[in-house]
Amino acid sequence: GQQVMQIPQYQHVQEGEDFTTYCNSSTTLSNIQWYKQRPGGHPVFLIQLVKSGEVKKQKRLTFQFGEAKKNSSLHITATQTTDVGTYFCAEDTGTASKLTFGTGTRLQVTL
Amino acid sequence: EAQVTQNPRYLITVTGKKLTVTCSQNMNHEYMSWYRQDPGLGLRQIYYSMNVEVTDKGDVPEGYKVSRKEKRNFPLILESPSPNQTSLYFCASRWGQGKSEQYFGPGTRLTVT
């Protein structure tokens, strides 16, 4: 099946440092969604990117969709302890109910 | 409040003892899915349903059954659970075809001994 690779698997930063997670596919993505899962919680939708080269911002979070629609990134500026959790990208095939998730990047933020 | 509910939240059972995890959504969503989450493997889809009486296999369907008799409910059935089905399970729902966010339930942590 479709493989969506996500790197890194884990990152530990100090509060105030920036953080980026990358999502890569071997094929062209229809669109990409990003989710955040807090420790002990469930995934919560953050955003969806549809267009080639699209960039969207949510406060300190910046989401990008590659020009070739084969990769995406989530960048957090000046991390805070509230950013702790696992970030997943997910490809939406646009058919049926198929969302293929990346393996996730676990972010740990310390003071 | 729009939500997806699952029960039970925690379950410890023994090999071979049939169990059902219930899932219900109050958003009139057409699409519902079940995922399992395991360390290092992310979220893998078990089964999904596009509407009442329409279900299909996801990536890891072996050992699981589902049914969709009503739009709001999508139970996950383990007829004969085995230890390799010990996992964290999430039910999810979304609107019609494509390009819509998915709402997840709170999760069910299942341990099979």
pLDDT tens for each residue of A60-97: 999 999 999 999 999 999 999 999 999 999 987 656 56
Contact of B39 with chain A, judged by CB distance below 8 Å, is answered with no
Q: What is the average pLDDT across A11-27?
A: 96
Instruction: List the 65-104 stretch of A: residues with Cβ below 8 A of B.
Output: 88, 90, 92-104
At A95 the pLDDT is: 61
Distance CA A4, CA B113 (A): 32
Q: What is the average pLDDT across B32-42?
A: 93
Nearest CA in chain B to A32: B99
Q: What are the phi and psi torsion angles at A102 (to 5°)?
A: -70, 175
- Is A48 in contact with A33 (CB distance < 8 Å)? yes
User: From the CA atom positions of chain B, what is the Rg in Å?
Assistant: 13
B41-59: b or e for each residue (b if 16 or more CB lie within 10 Å)?
ebbbbbbbbbeeeebeebb
Of B33, B40, B90, the CB nearest to A97: B33
Taking an 8 Å cut-off on Cβ atoms, the answer to whether B98 and A92 are in contact is yes
Taking an 8 Å cut-off on Cβ atoms, the answer to whether A42 and B90 are in contact is yes
Which residues on chain A are in Cβ contact (under 8 Å) with B94?
97
Nearest CA in chain A to B32: A97
Strands A105-110 and A10-14: parallel
Is the pLDDT at B35 greater than 60? The verdict is yes
Contact of B48 with chain A, judged by CB distance below 8 Å, is answered with yes
Q: Which amino acid is at B16?
A: G
A102: which 2 tokens? Answer: 């990346």
B68: which 2 tokens? Answer: 């969709």
Contact of A105 with chain B, judged by CB distance below 8 Å, is answered with no
Q: Which amino acid is at A49?
A: L
Distance CA B21, CA A41 (A): 18
Q: What is the average pLDDT across B53-71?
A: 95
At A42 the pLDDT is: 97
Which residues on chain B are in Cβ contact (under 8 Å) with A2?
none
User: From the CA atom positions of chain A, what is the Rg in Å?
Assistant: 13
pLDDT band at B64 (very low <50, low <70, confident <90, very high): very high
Measured in angstroms, the CA of A89 and the nearest CA of chain B are apart by 10
Percent of chain B with pLDDT over 90: 87
At B98 the pLDDT is: 59
Q: Across chain B, how many H-helices and E-strands are there?
A: 0, 11
